[in-house]
């Protein structure tokens, strides 16, 4: 079946380890052009799902197709169109970076002129020029991660599965890798797992939250943020001397559920005004400001916070605790 525009299609995917369901009936379709973020607490089933998509682990049930190739029935074709950055560091610590990437090109059957072009391109894209002759085992964690990324993209796969791609990178490197992911997304389907919620906002066009092996939320980062208790909350910073009792005034406005106040060091107070069920309260708050004549330093509406949504949906147990 090669007609579907979706590059990844997953139906009813499950993985049992003994009686334990690490992945429990996942359905997912990822078209080209999408960077999908996999979020979830430790042990949620993200890596297990990625390992099944990449053919490293056989599912207990369900099916996966990559660019129309069934991973179980046509594993070689599926692997040809797929790049995978696994968790942790690449193998072969004794190989130099150049030797390792050359070896990967060979395994991927890239030769002749194209081999030179592709190796030059990935070395440039992930910034490995300075360490080409160094054994992988002697590289810093960030550089090892870059080598992992280089081997995942050397054959220009249409589908990329990246397990915590920026883990161990410094802020500049994180920025570069995120830029690269966004650039590569144009005609590819990319799935990244991450614990960094700011990364989801920076690179993902869509995010799913996985918990106990199931998808419990699926949407654009903005759609997910709209499920936050802070969606449409208003932040207001005013001089303490002017607005000493603002908490009560703000609480009495229609649609306001609660108000928090942070005392800032410079004589200002910052109020966060949280609405009931995300109703819009910006008009009411600015009306009050005008009525009272407060000189406002800040007044803005929050889109919501991903960390809040994440906690709300998955906070039934401590992070890291087995289900």
CB of 28 to ligand ATP, least distance (A): 15
Nearest approach in angstroms of CB 49 to ligand ATP is 7
Regarding 265 and contact with ligand ATP (CB under 6 A), the answer is no
Of the candidates 10, 13, 22, 30, which one interacts with ligand ATP according to CB under 6 A? 22
Using the contact rule CB under 6 A, the part of the chain among 25-33, 37-45, 285-293, 298-306 near ligand ATP is 37-45
Task: Give yes or no for a contact between 210 and 45, defined as CB atoms under 8 angstroms apart.
Answer: yes
Residue whose CB is less far from ligand ATP, 46 or 231: 46
Instruction: Report the number of secondary-structure helices (H) and strands (E) in the chain.
Output: 11, 14
Answer for the pair 165, 192: CB distance below 8 angstroms, yes or no: yes
CA distance 253 to 274: 11
Pairing verdict, β 268-275 and 234-239: antiparallel
Sketch the per residue contact string, 40 through 79, with ligand ATP: x for CB under 6 A, - otherwise.
x-xxxxxxx-------------------------------
Token couple for 45: 């089933």
Q: How many CB atoms lie within 10 A of CB 208?
A: 22
Helix crossing, 141-153 with 97-107: angle to 10°?
20
Residues 191-230 that bind ligand ATP (CB under 6 A): none
Smallest distance, ligand ATP to C-beta of residue 48, A? 3
14 in Cβ contact with 23 (< 8 Å): yes
- Span from 39-47, 96-104, 122-130, 289-297 in contact with ligand ATP (CB under 6 A): 39-47
Residues making contact with ligand ATP (CB under 6 A): 17, 22, 40, 42-48, 322
């Amino acid at each position: 079946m090669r007609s579907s525009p979706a590059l990844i299609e997953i139906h009813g995917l499950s993985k049992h380890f003994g009686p334990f369901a690490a992945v429990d009936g996942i359905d997912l379709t990822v078209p080209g052009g999408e960077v999908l973020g996999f979020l979830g607490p430790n042990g949620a089933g993200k890596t297990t799902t990625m390992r099944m998509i990449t053919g490293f682990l056989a599912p207990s049930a369900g099916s996966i197709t990559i660019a129309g190739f069934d991973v179980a029935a046509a594993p070689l074709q599926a692997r040809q169109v797929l790049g995978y950055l696994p968790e942790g560091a690449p193998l072969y610590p004794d190989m130099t970076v150049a030797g390792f990437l050359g070896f990967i090109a060979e395994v991927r059957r890239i030769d002749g002129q194209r081999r030179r072009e592709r190796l030059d391109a990935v070395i440039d894209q992930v910034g490995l020029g300075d360490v080409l002759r160094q054994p992988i085992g002697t590289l810093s964690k960030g550089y090892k991660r870059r080598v992992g990324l280089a081997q995942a993209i050397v054959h220009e796969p249409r589908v990329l599965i990246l397990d915590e791609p920026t883990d161990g990178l410094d802020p500049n490197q994180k920025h570069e890798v995120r830029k690269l992911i966004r650039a590569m997304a144009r005609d590819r389907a990319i799935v990244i797992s991450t614990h960094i919620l700011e990364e989801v906002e920076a690179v993902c066009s869509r995010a799913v939250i996985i918990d106990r092996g199931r998808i419990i939320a699926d949407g654009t980062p903005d759609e997910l943020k709209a499920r936050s208790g802070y969606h449409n909350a208003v932040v207001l910073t005013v001089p303490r001397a002017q607005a000493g009792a603002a908490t009560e005034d703000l609480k009495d406005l229609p649609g306001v559920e609660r108000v928090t106040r942070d005392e800032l060091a410079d004589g200002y107070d910052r109020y966060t005004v949280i609405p009931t069920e995300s109703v819009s309260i910006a008009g009411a708050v600015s009306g009050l400001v005008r009525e009272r004549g407060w000189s406002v330093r800040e007044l803005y509406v929050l889109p919501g916070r991903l960390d809040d949504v994440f906690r709300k949906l998955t906070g039934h147990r401590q992070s890291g605790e087995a289900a």
